[in-house]
Amino acid sequence: MIWTVIIAGAAQKQLARFPARDQNKIAAAIRAMAEDPFSGDIIKLEGVNNRWRRRLGSYRVFFAADTAARTVAVSAIVRRTSTTY
């Protein structure tokens, strides 16, 4: 089944700031989330209901998944630093 992926405006702006090579890698991973958002290196974030993190090298994609509506809402895409979490 296909999932609907919604990327927040802030996440789109964050993605646009990264180098083109990294943008392509991240965009491909987000497109793959339409097939299965729970594949890859993901973990559920503690203390937050229904929030997940997907690791893509030194980048992190933060999202929420609604299994009933089969939607994935990407809220942030950030480069991993000591202050990311």
pLDDT score recorded for residue 36: 92
What percent of the chain stands above pLDDT 90?
85
pLDDT score recorded for residue 30: 94
pLDDT digits (tens, 9 = 90+) for 47-73: 888 899 999 999 999 999 999 999 999
* Mean pLDDT across 18-28: 95
Per-residue HEC secondary structure of 20-55 comes to: HHHHHHHHHHHHHCCCCCCCCCEEECCCCCCEEEEE
* Mean pLDDT across 25-31: 95
Query: Which residue segments constitute the domains of the chain, with CATH numbers given?
Result: 4-79 (3.30.2310.20)
